[in-house]
Amino acid sequence: MDDDARDDSPKLKVSELAQLIGVSASTVSKVINGRPGVSDETRRQVEKVLHEHGYSRPLVSTKLSPTIELVVEYIAHNGTMELIKYASYWAQQAGLAITVTQTNNGDATEECFRGIIDRNPQGVILQQMGGLNDLAKSLLKTRNIPVVVIDPIDTVDTDVMSVAIDNWTAGYQAARHLLSLGHRRIGVIRGPKSLQTGLARYSGFEAALEQAHVPLPEAYVRQGDYFPAESSYQAACELIEMGDGSGASNDALPRPTAIFCCNDLSAVSAYRAAREHGLHLPDDLSVMGFDDIFPSEYLMPSLTSVHQPFSEIAQRAVQMIVDTREGRSTEMHVILPTRVAPRESTVPPREA
């Protein structure tokens, strides 16, 4: 079989590609070989055409690194620390190490993936990054680097592995917990509307209230964020300031007796808002979080939260990469259950 018939052969010469793109042959060569001297915009244009015609730039090192890259948008107490901790542990059990790459909220995504490709890891774990752009996907695919997305924020390609929790059921469980305590006026501080995870949690929560014939007025639903928590603090203040709980003041809705927060950082913001408004937790207000991360169980009062199985999530992700590298079959998409971790921050409402 001649070279032109091989699947990994370029279909056009460098000079022909350069003419097609409208740049010099030296520019195309620089992009193929990863050399500097090309603007970001031109590099993106060239790489797009290169990918379409079967080109991929060579790795700086062709040796397979005994590492797994964990890619996060930012490092904070939002579940990222737990994932790093457990991914490191399970990687060590497999004789590997974890390298952490931060994309700075996506600002440095392209630069980060170029570095990953050059390091040639065993695989890549992405935390909550459904937004794996076409360039990153093409780079990883051309190097046959296995990818696992953790709790994807939107739909992932069928050929990209994923590990997620059952966010809908998790939201449902949270509502059932508060309902079981007797709460009927429940406020919600939602996660980002643009994220599938936040939408699923809210949908499950809403379904449980509807099933119990408990209304969820629009005024009881406020917009928060996973991080930073300032918007969640403002949302908590708005809920707390709704009334004194009697329902008689200016026909306004009474203050909720409980607030369910989209994550534990938002719950901490609700703690702050409650104390600044002179409320005593949990007697005046129950607060529930999501994630069950440090220091939830050490807060005063200790925080009731939906527990995410971070250790099992990390274990599954690492094992998927190891199995793929060793040619073993593996599940492409894993969904893990959650549970409520009841603590001191949720109690029956006073009027119950």
| Per-residue pLDDT at 117 | 84
User: How many CA atoms, within 13 angstroms, populate the side-chain half-sphere of residue 130?
Assistant: 14
- Average the pLDDT over 163-188 and give the result: 97
Tokens of 232: 């969640």
Cα(200)–Cα(191) distance, integer angstroms? 10
H-helix or E-strand spanning residue 180: helix 167-180
Cα(167)–Cα(200) distance, integer angstroms? 5
Strands 147-150 and 161-165: parallel
- Average the pLDDT over 275-293 and give the result: 97
Cα(129)–Cα(21) distance, integer angstroms? 30
| Per-residue pLDDT at 250 | 34
Walk across the sheet containing 286-291 and list its strands: 221-223, 186-190, 258-261, 286-291, 304-307, 339-341
Residue for token digits 């990994």?
8
Task: Report the chain's mean pLDDT, rounded to a whole number.
Answer: 86
The yes-or-no verdict on residue 321 having pLDDT over 80 is: yes
User: How many CA atoms, within 13 angstroms, populate the side-chain half-sphere of residue 43?
Assistant: 16
Q: What is the largest CA-CA distance in the chain?
A: 85
Q: Which domains does the chain have, with CATH numbers?
A: 3-52 (1.10.260.40), 67-166+310-338 (3.40.50.2300), 167-308 (3.40.50.2300)
Tokens of 267: 């719950």
Q: Distance of CA 74 to CAs 126, 149, 261, Å?
A: 12, 15, 21
> In this predicted model, what pLDDT tens digit does every residue of 104-159 receive, in sequence order?
766 667 778 888 888 889 999 998 654 566 667 777 776 789 999 998 877 667 77
Tokens of 129: 């990054």
150: left (phi over 0), alpha (psi -120 to 50) or beta: beta
The yes-or-no verdict on residue 183 having pLDDT over 80 is: yes
Backbone angles phi, psi at 102, to 5 degrees: -105, 125
Q: Are 119 and 69 in contact (CB under 8 A)?
A: yes
How many Cβ atoms from other residues are within 10 Å of residue 270's Cβ?
31
Task: Provide the H-helix boundaries in 185-305.
Answer: 196-211, 230-240, 264-276
Tokens of 323: 């199995």
**Residue 178 binned pLDDT confidence (cut-offs 50, 70, 90):** very high
- Average the pLDDT over 256-260 and give the result: 98
Question: What burial class does residue 41 get, using C-beta atoms within 10 Å of its C-beta: 0-12 exposed, 13-18 middle, 19+ buried?
Answer: exposed
